[in-house]
Amino acid sequence: MTFMEEYQQKLITPDKAASLVKSGDLVGYGHFGLFPAEFDKALGKRAGEENLVNVTIDCASSVRYPQVLKNDPEMKTFTYYSNHFNGLERKLGDVNRVSYVPTQYHDLQKIRGDVVQPFLKKNVMCLMTCPMDSHGNFNFGIAASDTYATLKNADLIIVEVNEKNPYCMGGSMESINIKDVDYIIETDESIFVMPPAGEPSATEKQIAAHIMPMIPDRACLQLGIGGVPNTIGALIAQSDLKDLGINTEMFCDAMVDMYEAGKITNKYKTRDVGRSSFTFCFGNAKTHEFLHKNPQIAAYNCDYTNNPKYIALEDNVISINNIIEVDLFSQVCSESNGIRQISGTGGSLDFHIGAWESRGGKGILAFNSTYTDKEGKIHSRINPCLPRGAVVTVPRVMVHYLVTEYGAVNMKGRSIWGMAEGAISIAHPDFRDDLIKSAREMKIWSPTNRIPF
């Protein structure tokens, strides 16, 4: 039987695919842009069926409002988990419709691949893929992630083919062959694209100005999500830096700008010389076009890109990620506002550790020193202690550089007195006196401490 004959034999309707889900099943959806639109719509139509209960959906950063939730407001049929909250899932979490699964990103490949937790084994897995190639392979496109490991241990595999999905060359574990696929459905749904990045704020430009001198020629870059990493990318494109490399979890729009400016050559990487390695993309249409069948880019599973022991093989790893807040003990929160989950650990800790272990590397955690609430009141993001319920994403013993618009400070090797002094030195000046007062009351301030004002 030819590949195409096998394809036609396995091709079914979305409704037929959804009918394969049984009570008690754990159903996996493709992460990020691999969210299976047609399958979700069909499965959502089964909400409320008398003989369908206790079905759990596992996803990450859903790019569409899940129909299994929209059609099941009382959760009589479906329960929904996410491995990383985005804006949509944050709102769903606010009304207790989705539960966050804490994890380091690189661990997902191991948990679902080599060291499988029985309760994570998918009964049904459905994800969006690129069309089948001439060798019978379905490329995962913009989210290699832990996809292969999940499929490897799933009982039933359904691919949702979409011609609009960018074909991202590997790498490894970036595709699945038709012989391992049980069923195929087709879709022409639009692919999620990021909206155009806005102009960086004055504060973001100040933060970026403190970070730029920390990046050497031949650095290997990881840029996270947010305004500061995007601003850094734009500044790099306009800089005199040369022969930069990329090993990142997320391939972002700014990286295309760096390529077009000739800054990215990957000549001096230890692994994937001449190619940028990544595991997923949240990008605009231009970025998707850039990634499509581009041999300069390699899509890998999340263990390959995010495991600190592999990251550390590269020299001069510069990891730049946003954080939400930090306390005077140098405990960093990157994922919650108090008890409210708004993001996830993701790869922030992975890359922060890997950058520190890299020869010449720097783990950089960047943030605005303040934020303004809905009433217009300004608050400090540097506080005596993290608020109740705030999640410690990066423990104090692992924090390397903290950067705000008021400067950059290296936290490695400092005493608790020194950590307090370092944090206050980059706080907004209007809050420094109160922070020093709190530090004294907490007995983490010494008569020898000095803060430049």
**Whose structure tokens read 């983490």?**
444
Supply the pLDDT for residue 195. Answer: 82
Supply the pLDDT for residue 20. Answer: 98
End-to-end CA distance of the chain: 76
> How is 45-114 classified by DSSP, letter by letter?
TTTT-TT---EEEEESS-SS--HHHHT-TT-SSEEEEESS--HHHHHHHHTT--EE----HHHHHHHHTT
pLDDT means per 10 residues in the chain (453 residues)? 95 98 96 95 96 95 95 95 93 94 84 62 95 96 92 94 95 92 96 83 93 97 85 91 97 94 97 96 93 96 94 97 96 96 93 97 97 95 96 97 97 96 97 96 89 60
Our measurement of the distance from residue 143's CA atom to the centroid of its chain's CA atoms, rounded to an integer in Å, reads 11
Burial of 165 (0-12, 13-18, 19+ CB in 10 A): buried
Supply the pLDDT for residue 119. Answer: 60
Supply the pLDDT for residue 281. Answer: 94
In whole angstroms, what is the distance from residue 214 CA to residue 365 CA?
13
Supply the pLDDT for residue 117. Answer: 62
249 classed as catalytic: yes
Q: What is the per-residue pLDDT across 277-319, written as a single tens digit (0 to 9) for each?
A: 999 999 999 999 999 999 999 999 999 999 999 999 999 999 9
Supply the pLDDT for residue 433. Answer: 95
pTM of the model: 0.93
Choose the catalytic residue: 249, 314, 335, 405. Answer: 249
> How is 420-451 classified by DSSP, letter by letter?
HHHHHHTS-HHHHHHHHHHHHHTT---TT---
Supply the pLDDT for residue 416. Answer: 95
* Token pair belonging to 244: 């930069």
In whole angstroms, what is the distance from residue 258 CA to residue 244 CA?
9
CA distances from 357 to 193, 215, 312, 362, 438 (A): 34, 16, 5, 9, 33
